[in-house]
Amino acid sequence: MSIVKLAAPLAGWCLPLAEVPDPVFAGAMAGDGVAIDPVEGVLHAPCDGEIVPMRDARHAVTVRSEAGIEVLMHVGIETVGLKGQGFELLVSAGERVRQGAPLLRFDLDRLARAAPSLVTPIVLASGGTVLSRATQRALAVGDFLMEVDGGEAQAVAASAAPQEHARRFRVPFDHGLHVRPAALVAAALRPFKSQVVIVARGRSASARSTVAMMSLGVHCGETIEVRCTGADAAQALSALEPLLAPDLPAVVQQEVRKPVAATLADARRLEGLIASRGVAVGVALAWKQAEIEIVEQGAGAASESAALRNALAFLASHLGGLAANATGASGELLRAHAELVQDPELERAALEAVARGKSASYGWREATRGMAESLAVLDDERMRERAADLRDLEEQVLRVLRGEVPAAERELPENAVVLAEDLMPSQLLSLDARRLAGVVLARGGATSHVALLAASHGIPLLVSVGPAVLEVAEGTPVVLDAEHGWIDVDPPAAELAAAQRAALQRAAERAADLEAALQPCATRDGVRITVNANLGSEEEAHAALRQGAEGCGLLRTEFLFLDRRDPPTEAEQAAEYGRIAAALQGRPLTIRTMDIGGDKPIAYLPLPREDNPALGMRGVRASLWRPELLRAQLGAILRVQPHSQCRILLPMVNDLEDLRVVRAIAAECAREQGRAALPPLGVMVETPAAAMMADQLAREADFLSIGTNDLSQYTLAIDRGHADLGEKLDALHPAVLRLIRKVAEAGGAAAKSVSVCGAMGSDVDALPILVGLGVHEISATASTIPRLKRTVRLLDAGECRELAQRALDAESAAAVRELAGVARARARAAASS
């Protein structure tokens, strides 16, 4: 038995192979080993040995130890496409090296920009057994990495039997027989015992060794011969055919023929937006639904209107019943639908059509579509979501009118990954949760109700994947990776197995994050960061506590009272706020006064039409325009017990004037209630004006909360609902960061807390920069809290300050995102050193 100890060839964070963001390495198809997320750009020899030739490869080096163990080190993921740019090989093939000798220099920052990941797999390319290995800790060059028994590699070769099969293939891979395809070949052979050799240009190499195959330097289109010798030679050869044969099915061809760097965009891998995180391995279930056919002409106004009223009443009570038994986001949605289906305006419009001789179905469709269309064009994402709700209700009522159950039901196979053009909330809720592994939508948005429901049920969901996903045949194996944003269709078995392992590992990681989330968090150098939740209901408050929220940094009260026809009374509001305060069990509750206005057509607050509602009567301006509504709200907040639990937050403040007026009204409300003191009164900083005036605001406000969604929209002059400019609307733009710094400094100077409550607060990449800018409190989407807290614990506030300075000096949001990516890898590596 030949035992070899391998030393870390790189400084960085050591992680298990299963965490490598490439299924070939994660599934150990290129060999068993570990990976290192590097913090320095020099690769060293892990043992004494000889450099194995690897044609044209400057991004990877293999060292063969004296005992014959081949250690392949592949710097970064998908780096073959860089064609050596950013790499400097310091050794040549055949050269003998001592452990620790520098082998390859690479430009860390350049690679971070060009490659999807810097994570470097270090694997045993010619077999061998890992006896022990380092993992999940920071390593310096030369630290213990793995102990390896090289005996097994020889054992495989020794088991050859006398049958021989051979076949010639033309190499279909764009980069030739390089690491990834070679690893797929080696992995495909793993179940077989036969000896398999690839012959090219008069030289031969073991097809079980990724490195040996690479050393042949075979290019795309060259002919190779595969020779299999052994008892299962025929089976081994046919296992290679799907990879190497020229008449492959189209899907497989695209997978193997694309350059490695292009695999993210190929037809087998379909990319989309992550709407609910998670990984699922399962089978495709195509969800196709034709529009329900209806007749236009009715059978008489009396019977049609009776049928419609009955259907509406039935559905309202059906939904109400479901809501009573549901919790969380599902319960809320069902309640909202039950309310919406009783909307008198909808019923009136439908009955009007019936009175014109139309059928009940026709009238209902006309009414819901008319209202949906007027909502669908609004600026506000959440208003557009109501349009989706209306389409959902349209179908449910039509089905009831046909005598069917309201939501279409489908039998699901085990681990079903539902592929659909779009899915309605009721359809998602009707799916058997025990069998549903994930959902992929050709269309849809990441903030839709379906997305919220999926997130609250822990169902991985990818949206906006495009029509190609609808062509996937039912029953096809798929890997849905809603952590990285893609779905792999019909991947090789080894990749499926690797994805299954990765899914289990992520689930374990999430469980660990969740457990730790209940504790407060601080950076490694002791800076305490408060992580609150953004809430819109009592249900969310319960869920947020389970995710580790330390309180509520933003209660969006406008959504508590959205589905009403008249303004909520002071008593109703006080009761609702009181329930949320109780749900938070004494933790702080920041109640934002209603942020309604031009683009949010709230029935009980009819506003004049505005050409540019985003710049019009919104937030505190709308509240001051209808001060009786503001009074009722302030009065309600003042009634919440215990008094010390609440803070009041004002949206869309530009300067001190708004704050002073509202403070005076609040003081009057307090006097009426016989209260002496007001709760803390804070302002949202979400306009460039407020950011520029932050020093003045900080002196008078009790706290500041930065609304980065609106601050980005107004700073960058990009509508936050714009369909095409969405990518450019990035809160990490240096212009936005400079304003945030101003606010954080103003808060610091006045000793007032500064929180970030826009979506930026839920972004783990933004977190180090925010901490570096001096933000020590965030309010985030509840489901992101466990991960945010883990990230905080890995940070060093001093390094965050340096990072923030570089981000402020950067030229674009993209440049800041690159800095953030490198910083995250460094923080992880430094964490336990």
Q: How far is the CB of 784 from ligand PEP (least distance, A)?
A: 14
Q: In whole angstroms, what is the distance from residue 84 CA to residue 729 CA?
A: 34
| One of 19, 490, 595, 763 touching ligand PEP (CB under 6 A) | 595
Q: In whole angstroms, what is the distance from residue 596 CA to residue 713 CA?
A: 17
Which of Mg ion, ligand PEP, none interacts with 210 (beta carbon under 5 to 8 A by kind)? Answer: none
Q: How far is the CB of 710 from Mg ion (least distance, A)?
A: 4
Q: Which two tokens stand for residue 794?
A: 């890995």
| 545-574: contacts with ligand PEP (CB under 6 A) | 554, 556
Tokens 């209603």 correspond to what residue? 594
Which of Mg ion, ligand PEP, none interacts with 757 (beta carbon under 5 to 8 A by kind)? Answer: ligand PEP
Residue 599 contacts Mg ion per CB under 5 A: no
| One of 4, 757, 773, 794 touching ligand PEP (CB under 6 A) | 757
Q: With respect to Mg ion, which residue has the nearer C-beta, 460 or 707?
A: 707
Please tell me which residue in 44, 175, 178, 449 is annotated as part of the active site: 449
Q: Which two tokens stand for residue 422?
A: 């779009």
Q: In whole angstroms, what is the distance from residue 710 CA to residue 739 CA?
A: 13
| 678-697: contacts with ligand PEP (CB under 6 A) | 686
Which region, judged by CB under 6 A, interacts with ligand PEP, from 227-235, 339-347, 409-417, 707-715?
Answer: 707-715
Q: In whole angstroms, what is the distance from residue 786 CA to residue 772 CA?
A: 20
| One of 707, 747, 768, 772 touching ligand PEP (CB under 6 A) | 707
Decide if 339 contacts 565 (C-beta within 8 A).
no
Q: In whole angstroms, what is the distance from residue 460 CA to residue 438 CA?
A: 5
Q: With respect to ligand PEP, which residue has the nearer C-beta, 305 or 534?
A: 534
| Strand, helix or coil for residue 10 | coil
| 769-788: contacts with ligand PEP (CB under 6 A) | none
Q: In whole angstroms, what is the distance from residue 455 CA to residue 765 CA?
A: 20
Angle 785-794/813-830 helices, nearest 10 degrees? 70
Residue 380 contacts Mg ion per CB under 5 A: no
Residue 558 contacts Mg ion per CB under 5 A: no
Decide if 57 contacts 87 (C-beta within 8 A).
no
Which of Mg ion, ligand PEP, none interacts with 22 (beta carbon under 5 to 8 A by kind)? Answer: none
Binding mask 711-750 for ligand PEP (x = CB under 6 A): ----------------------------------------
Which of Mg ion, ligand PEP, none interacts with 556 (beta carbon under 5 to 8 A by kind)? Answer: ligand PEP
Please tell me which residue in 74, 757, 776, 800 is annotated as part of the active site: 757
Q: How far is the CB of 740 from ligand PEP (least distance, A)?
A: 12
Residue 686 contacts Mg ion per CB under 5 A: yes
Among the listed residues 276, 272, 274, the one whose alpha carbon sits nearest the alpha carbon of residue 455: 276
Q: In whole angstroms, what is the distance from residue 51 CA to residue 65 CA?
A: 9
Q: In whole angstroms, what is the distance from residue 618 CA to residue 384 CA?
A: 18
Q: In whole angstroms, what is the distance from residue 99 CA to residue 107 CA?
A: 22
- The verdict on whether omega for the bond into residue 642 sits within 30 degrees of 0, i.e. cis, is yes
Q: Which two tokens stand for residue 430?
A: 């009707």
Which region, judged by CB under 5 A, interacts with Mg ion, from 258-266, 302-310, 672-680, 684-692?
Answer: 684-692
Size of the site for ligand PEP (CB under 6 A): 10
* Annotation marks residue 722 as catalytic: no
Residue 528: count of CB within 10 angstroms of its CB: 11
Residue 235 contacts ligand PEP per CB under 6 A: no
Residue 365: count of CB within 10 angstroms of its CB: 23
Q: How far is the CB of 656 from Mg ion (least distance, A)?
A: 19
Q: In whole angstroms, what is the distance from residue 637 CA to residue 394 CA?
A: 37
Q: With respect to ligand PEP, which residue has the nearer C-beta, 126 or 448?
A: 448
| One of 229, 464, 696, 709 touching ligand PEP (CB under 6 A) | 709
Strands (E) in 288-330, as ranges, are none
Q: Give the helix/strand (H/E) hosting 321.
A: helix 301-324
Residue 447 contacts ligand PEP per CB under 6 A: no
User: Largest alpha-carbon pair distance within the chain?
Assistant: 99
CA angle 225, 228, 230 (to 5 degrees): 170
Residue 805 contacts ligand PEP per CB under 6 A: no
Residue 392: count of CB within 10 angstroms of its CB: 26
Q: How far is the CB of 591 from Mg ion (least distance, A)?
A: 15
Q: In whole angstroms, what is the distance from residue 84 CA to residue 348 CA?
A: 69
Q: In whole angstroms, what is the distance from residue 502 CA to residue 23 CA?
A: 9
Which of ligand PEP, Mg ion, none interacts with 708 (beta carbon under 5 to 8 A by kind)? Answer: ligand PEP
Q: How far is the CB of 627 from Mg ion (least distance, A)?
A: 21
Which region, judged by CB under 6 A, interacts with ligand PEP, from 104-112, 536-544, 702-710, 786-794?
Answer: 702-710
CA angle 261, 265, 267 (to 5 degrees): 125
Binding mask 379-418 for ligand PEP (x = CB under 6 A): ----------------------------------------
Among the listed residues 768, 778, 784, the one whose alpha carbon sits nearest the alpha carbon of residue 822: 768
Q: How far is the CB of 686 from ligand PEP (least distance, A)?
A: 5
Q: Which two tokens stand for residue 467?
A: 């029509």
Binding mask 707-736 for Mg ion (x = CB under 5 A): x--x--------------------------
Residue 597 contacts Mg ion per CB under 5 A: no
* Annotation marks residue 733 as catalytic: no
**Which residue is at the shortest CB distance from Mg ion?**
710
| Strand, helix or coil for residue 3 | strand
| One of 710, 763, 777, 796 touching ligand PEP (CB under 6 A) | 710
Residues annotated as part of the active site: 449, 757
Q: Which residues bind ligand PEP (CB under 6 A)?
A: 554, 556, 595, 686, 707-710, 757-758
Residues that bind Mg ion (CB under 5 A): 686, 707, 710
